[in-house]
Structure 1
């Protein structure tokens, strides 16, 4: 009995030691996590400070360049006006003109004596990371402590690992050169001004090229629900992905039709009941499919097969589905907007009389007006709620208010029009009359689709970089 009791006492001792070890590990792990969180917080605060400092330097330099540009433009305007007047005088009688002292000769003489504008000198501001590594969080060591004797306990042997030499480093430097980098060109009085400001809005960008959750192959369409969920048409992955407004992945579902065949989704829009209308194509057919928000097919109708991209919007007032369509070959394109009821009945067309060539994306504003981007004509067509043509705006070019291959289009709460100016690699804002207001960003890869969230955030897909960007309320 004494022997049995000694063994039972040994077992009880092991159990107590296991309990103690588990408690010690939990306390140790909590201490590691606490130290990590404190260090991360300090790094985040330092990062925010550096970014703020970088933005301030950028704004100051950019303001200098803008001031110098405006001064030179004033001179260009004066010279250009003199040239125009001289041309008019020549048309009235060139013989008399050559023998007279004209406004042009006076202006030219003035500028011959005036020093030419000198380039703006800027000093690059560069971020230089410190060579000192991030401090080590701490060390985990096995301490040698005297242990109480346990009956019949065998001699124990232990080893420990020392992690003190494992260091976390910041490997790469972040080059924050303060330079004025040209991206596009604007036209002014026959002269070209190179360089436009990049986005002044801080944004969240997520996504990479791939087929995993949060990755994309050609994100061609986007819309945002009333619950602030972002739906992205991941075209070449043949699926819809859903994200939060912070860019966190929520769920995904394949874009299939009732025959279980997958389609490549090109564009999509939400209807008044919160269902998702998707236009796309299979290997053998083109169609419009209605899904619920979890991806279950509710209905479908077929579309004419064409070789061109389609956009879709929903007129929630009339419960009409509006789909863009382009027919013909590259040299003879014809575009229009088809208006359907949800069961696929064609009830009308829009835009046949305005020479629409290649309509891409489409949206319906709060007043029921229909806005269509025409990629081939480099403009936006605006129609009223009854489909009557109102006006176009845009026009081919790289200057302010001009467009080059416009694609995605949406409106904000004030009625302003946001356009993905694809060929110019930028996103533009116009007022409801088509007057240019500002660049939202000029540093996109290939902006495709745009959508406005309920709180005013702007969501933009980039099919070149396979990313989605969220711009805050502006």
Structure 2
């Protein structure tokens, strides 16, 4: 009888395993179908853009051909040949200009596309246990596009009302903000001592950890979230879903110690973590395992607030002057930009960088957002003090998503979370 029972248990396990395999492959099929739909839609858009530009080129060629015909009647054959060459050069130049934007717009960065899709579906264990990871249906990471700053309109997408309560989806004195470029999800350091996660449309998804001591800075890699705790004097490392992996730090000025850490960022090249320390007046660099690596800006910074790391530069915002320190990839200071909007003394706390190295910066005291080019010249400003849409009271966190939208969180505005 015991042998029969064992056989029955084995058969049941096999049946369950088959069901789980079918379920996982069904989800895989649905995810790949959605990816196919997204890519086909993108291809249609590119084709429409190309057809539109082709029509412009054809009209130009038609106009120039009429000029050639008219010129034939006036000039000799020798002169006509020279004019035709000049006109042909003009046509080639115009075609290059019209197609440049289309060529750049379809330059996607595919990072292990198929392997990533399958990995996100989870793994199957034949002992009856199954671990299913979330399926991300957002397109793969692309370079953030450069917003058209001059054409920016008031936000119309979503505003999250401020509340002192801890209800899901409500924010209380939010600070840092970061966007996961694969999913489009928005991670916000909330004054309720937690991190809340919203979709790219502003819909509440989930929260994690309500035991932090004033989370303030936040950044995201492909599969990890890093958060600084202002009064905890430490940095935490999480899974995307909120599971704590590691916490490092205590108050002090030694290696892997912190004093009121603020903004942070992760390098694309080696995944090192750069952390601004307000009181220690430095940027501390840790490995991706949160072990001490090196220091940046000793005897240089006065009040470092935020940092952004690109492939070839490190930007550090100091609110004392205020100014922006720019280092090359070897951490040698290459520039120091004055980041004073409208020529006024301001109080910047956070910033982000687009792919043209324009600096988008929130101004806590002047209740607005400034945009500077890489030479430090102001090229745009939007927002004013108020409680309405497109108005700010103490804007803090700011981030660009991969569609060119600017996302801003305010500490004291009724509309805490706004999209531009």
Task: State whether TM-score is above 0.5.
Answer: yes
In structure 2, which of residues 302, 305, 309 is the aligned counterpart of residue 360 of structure 1? 305
Residue 471 of structure 1 aligns with which residue? Answer: 419
Structure 1 stretches lacking a partner, 5+ long: 1-196, 257-261, 328-333
Is 2:154 aligned against 1:201?
yes
How far apart are the structure 2 equivalents of 1:440 and 1:463? 18
Aligned pairs for 1:108-257 within 5 A: 200-203=153-156, 204-210=158-164, 211-226=166-181, 227-234=183-190, 236-256=191-211
In structure 2, which of residues 280, 289, 293 is the aligned counterpart of residue 343 of structure 1? 289
How far apart are the structure 1 equivalents of 2:350 and 2:414? 15
Is 2:278 aligned against 1:326?
yes
Aligned length: 257
CA displacement at 1:395 relative to structure 2: 5.2
Is the 1:301–1:343 Cα contact (8 Å) retained in structure 2?
no
Is the 1:267–1:311 Cα contact (8 Å) retained in structure 2?
yes
Structure 2 stretches lacking a partner, 5+ long: 1-149, 253-257, 385-390
Structure 1 residues 420 and 384, CA gap change in structure 2 (3 angstroms) = same
SS class of match (1:352): coil
How far apart are the structure 1 equivalents of 2:403 and 2:330? 29
SS class of match (1:220): coil
In structure 2, which of residues 257, 260, 266 is the aligned counterpart of residue 314 of structure 1? 266
Q: Which protein has the larger Cα radius of gyration, Structure 1 or Structure 2?
A: 1
How far apart are the structure 2 equivalents of 1:462 and 1:309? 20
CA displacement at 1:341 relative to structure 2: 0.6
In structure 2, which of residues 353, 366, 370 is the aligned counterpart of residue 424 of structure 1? 366
SS class of match (1:279): strand
Residue 436 of structure 1 aligns with which residue? Answer: 378
How far apart are the structure 2 equivalents of 1:427 and 1:309? 23
Give the alignment's Cα RMSD to 1 decimal.
2.4
Residue 286 of structure 1 aligns with which residue? Answer: 233
Query: CA offsets per residue over residues 369-407 of structure 1, 9 Å max, x none?
Result: 1112112221222112221112222255x625x551111
Query: CA offsets per residue over residues 29-63 of structure 1, 9 Å max, x none?
Result: xxxxxxxxxxxxxxxxxxxxxxxxxxxxxxxxxxx
Q: Please report the TM-score for the alignment, with normalisation by the length of structure 2.
A: 0.57
How far apart are the structure 2 equivalents of 1:381 and 1:440? 24
Is the 2:233–2:259 Cα contact (8 Å) retained in structure 1?
no
Structure 1 residues 316 and 467, CA gap change in structure 2 (3 angstroms) = farther
Structure 1 residues 255 and 287, CA gap change in structure 2 (3 angstroms) = farther
Query: CA offsets per residue over residues 299-353 of structure 1, 9 Å max, x none?
Result: 22114356645111111211100001122xxxxxx51111011233222111224
CA displacement at 1:253 relative to structure 2: 1.3
Query: CA offsets per residue over residues 187-211 of structure 1, 9 Å max, x none?
Result: xxxxxxxxxx9x7433432221232
CA displacement at 1:298 relative to structure 2: 1.2
How far apart are the structure 1 equivalents of 2:399 and 2:373? 16
